[in-house]
Amino acid sequence: MNEWLDVVAQVEAMEDLPLNARLVGELQERWSGLAASARSEINFYTPTFKSFQTSEISGCGKNAWPAVSITGGDCKLQCDHCKAKILEPMIAARTPEALWRVVGDIVADGAGGMLLTGGSNHRNEVEYGPFYPTIRRIKDSHPGFRIALHTALVDAAGARAMADAGIDVAMMDVIGSQDTITQVYHLRRRVDDFERTLEVLVASGMKVVPHIVIGLHFGRLLGEWNALEIIARHKPDAVVLVVVMPFYAPAHRPFVTPDAAEVGSFFMQARAALPDIPLLLGCARPSGQARTLIDTYAVMAGMNGMAHPSDGMVELAARLERRVRITPACCSIAVGDEVMAVSGKDAGLELDLEAIIRHERERRRAAARQGVFGPIKVVGDAGGGGCPGTGGRA
């Protein structure tokens, strides 16, 4: 008997969800073997790159954790899954002087931090060098302002320069397949270069949060398990898993949507491989029913956090007897879960099952009074779509 399938059936927002019964059974069997920390609290984060609201969580403002690009929309790599489109909606700050002005404006607008990134050169390096004195000036002038930096590939000197400038959180994608590096990123670098970058970032003393993009090889899993092994060797502060959303992939090099059950199985393996490291599901993942399936498996696998949860996930976690915490702090989908995971603060509001169910009943009664009869079911194909501007990072 699969008790967890019965639990899912009690969550109205998840009615008729075509879960893989074998995988759910395996997740349930492994649950008792997880560390107590993995089986207890889960934090659901609300994003602010874009407005967001589900039936369970209300969103917050858009401007508290903006994304800033030092190259504007330019990137020389033109990776197949992104084509630099992720950079286009970001705030451009192409010179150190422009970055100083941008930060002054967003601090005045109430920002608590930012994601700082930029397009890569042909070696997958973002050329931050001229900006480090300005970053140091920003940190000295605004001590509470947090900066999360997408590092790309760096050497030891580059990592030290980032740390000396005051970067709070260093983020990078760990790619475990040489074929993916060559064929998707069009890059003449090696897997060892990604591991070396992670090594020097961890050694720098900064908080380090690597990402694994599941399905990066044209929608298929290839180097993800090797990436897990690389991360396990260097023990960063947290790990973010995302699922590729190749919204801008060219027609002649199409991506398939990763199979949700295969993604869920990888979640389970990641939890086992990294038992003592906070494991988070970032916002980038397919939409529609595929997203709901992926989120369900993430809750069951023992993820510590989830950005932009699907409807029903909060109730599901509570019914599985996990401590549910909601962090409605205004944090961007690219920065929020990473920064919150390593902040060391007991942030968020803890909710119990009864409060969640009561809220759901009140919401549905209100919807019925407005002529809406029950929840609207998503009937799109499992491939879903993809929201623009996510690239492969959370």
User: Predicted confidence band at 351 (pLDDT cuts at 50, 70, 90)?
Assistant: confident
Is the pLDDT at 37 greater than 90? The verdict is no
Whether 375 is in a domain gets the answer: no
Whether 391 is in a domain gets the answer: no
Question: Rounded mean pLDDT of the chain?
Answer: 82
Is the pLDDT at 82 greater than 70? The verdict is no
Section 87-114 average pLDDT? 92
Q: What is the pLDDT of residue 2?
A: 77
Section 368-386 average pLDDT? 41
Whether 128 is in a domain gets the answer: yes
355 φ/ψ angles, rounded to the nearest 5 degrees: -65, -40
Long-range contacts of 248-251 (CB under 8 A, 24+ apart): 248/81, 248/82, 248/83, 248/85, 248/388, 249/80, 249/81, 249/83, 250/80, 250/83
Tokens of 342: 């390593």
Whether 177 is in a domain gets the answer: yes
Any idea which residue has 């993942």 for tokens? Answer: 285
Whether 174 is in a domain gets the answer: yes
Closest listed residue to residue 43, CA positions, set 323, 260, 247, 272: 323
* pLDDT tens track for 97-107: 999 999 999 99
Q: What is the pLDDT of residue 6?
A: 94
Closest listed residue to residue 106, CA positions, set 173, 76, 136, 61: 61
Find the range with the poorest average confidence among 2-11, 110-119, 197-206, 361-370: 361-370
User: Predicted confidence band at 355 (pLDDT cuts at 50, 70, 90)?
Assistant: confident
Yes or no: say if 273 and 324 are a contact pair by the CB < 8 Å rule. Answer: no
Is the pLDDT at 331 greater than 70? The verdict is no
Distance CA 271, CA 18 (A): 23
Whether 61 is in a domain gets the answer: yes
Residue 364 sits in a domain whose CATH number is 3.20.20.70
Section 115-127 average pLDDT? 91
Domain holding 132, by residue range, is: 3-369
Whether 384 is in a domain gets the answer: no
39 to 42, 154, 227, 237, 361: CA distances (angstroms)? 8, 35, 24, 19, 27
Is the pLDDT at 94 greater than 80? The verdict is yes
User: Predicted confidence band at 41 (pLDDT cuts at 50, 70, 90)?
Assistant: confident
Q: What is the pLDDT of residue 251?
A: 72
Yes or no: say if 193 and 208 are a contact pair by the CB < 8 Å rule. Answer: no
DSSP state of 207: E
Does 63 or 300 have the greater pLDDT score?
300
Give the chain's domain count: 1
Strands (E), 190-261: 207-214, 239-243
Q: What is the pLDDT of residue 153?
A: 97
Contacts of 142 (CB under 8 A, 6+ apart): 103, 107
Is the pLDDT at 52 greater than 50? The verdict is no
Whether 69 is in a domain gets the answer: yes
Is the pLDDT at 291 greater than 90? The verdict is yes
User: Predicted confidence band at 36 (pLDDT cuts at 50, 70, 90)?
Assistant: low
Closest listed residue to residue 216, CA positions, set 184, 171, 248: 184
Cα-trace Rg, the chain:
20
Find the range with the poorest average confidence among 12-21, 36-45, 146-155: 36-45
State the chain's maximal CA–CA distance in angstroms: 64
* pLDDT tens track for 194-216: 999 999 999 999 999 999 999 99
